[in-house]
Amino acid sequence: MGTKTAAILLTACLLLSACTATKSESANTSNSAKDQSSVSSTKESSKQAVSDEQTAVSKSNTQNDKSAVENNETTVSTTTVTTNKMYHLDKAYNVIPNQKGAEKKVVLLTFDDGPKEAAMINKIIDVLEKHKAKAIFFVNGYRVKEHPELLKLIHDRGQPIGNHSWDHIILKNKSEAEVKKQIETVQKIVKDTTGQAPVFFRPPHGAGGDVGRKVAKENGLLYMTWSVGSLDWTMKKSQPHKTETLLKNVTEQLHPGSNILMHELPWTAEALDSLLTRLEQKGYQFVDPQSIETPPSS
């Protein structure tokens, strides 16, 4: 081989070597760029994951806070519904304010000896609702047993239910065992029927005696008779002018805090709208029975 040929081959080898090195460097540079891109992508994904997690936590906390506020509002609302005990009954069974500022010119409306008939009950409650009034319906156990649907009607229409003993007998001369049976069986049947036991007790004929008071108190019942009698129970179906007679009987005895005794009777239901209108005209308001203090059960 000549000197000239050897020089050409040497030059070609050098050029080939330089080209290979350049290609390798380019490949390394490309791979490095890819790696950097991969790292950058991983960092971005990681940042996005953290961001998404923070957003989820933030949403969760917001929902929890909102739920807590709603629960708190529900608790406040439930507490607000509770009726203040603004009144109590004195020894004569009149309604007396517990504090200054409570209305003194009030009456308590009560109906005894039911439940009797759906039409009459609805008529009475329709009038009560018209005048935005509540009344205690004192019921007998034997009547509730015969027609539990009538007791449920009174309860479902939002009127308080009182205990008037099981058989409507005079209790003051009965044994404690008999009085307990007469009172406590009514407590049970009313609670079984409506879900709520009575908190008011009125002995039949107003004659409960000391034992009646004792058993009533043991059952968390407020013992009462009445301070104004409508005398509707003395009237006969054939008697004329029963409405005016009932109005006169009540208004002649009327005084602030009157505890008015009436019954589930057709003529009483008929006279009720006129009676409540007249009471309002005289400046009286109708006390909510739930605002009257009752004793704790033993």
Q: For residue 259, list its beta bridge partners.
A: 108
At 196, the amino acid letter reads Q
Q: For residue 161, list its beta bridge partners.
A: 137
Distance CA 115, CA 160 (A): 13
> Which two structure tokens, joined as six digits, stand for 159?
């009127």
At 273, the amino acid letter reads D
165 CB-near residues (< 8 Å, 6+ apart): 140, 141, 171, 182, 183, 186, 203, 204
Distance CA 220, CA 86 (A): 18
Distance CA 106, CA 89 (A): 12
113, 164, 232, 263: the catalytic one is 263
159 CB-near residues (< 8 Å, 6+ apart): 125, 128, 134, 135, 136, 137
Query: Is 263 labeled as catalytic in the residue annotation?
Result: yes
Q: Which of 153, 166, 167, 85 is nearest to 125 (CA)?
A: 153
Contact 267, 246 (CB under 8 A): yes
Distance CA 218, CA 174 (A): 17
Q: Which of 177, 224, 227 is nearest to 203 (CA)?
A: 224
Query: Is 205 labeled as catalytic in the residue annotation?
Result: no
112, 113, 232, 288: the catalytic one is 112
Does residue 115 have a cis peptide bond before it, meaning omega lies within 30 degrees of 0? Answer: yes
Q: For residue 163, list its beta bridge partners.
A: 139, 201
> Which two structure tokens, joined as six digits, stand for 99?
């504090």
> Which two structure tokens, joined as six digits, stand for 129?
């609702």
Residues identified as active-site: 112, 263
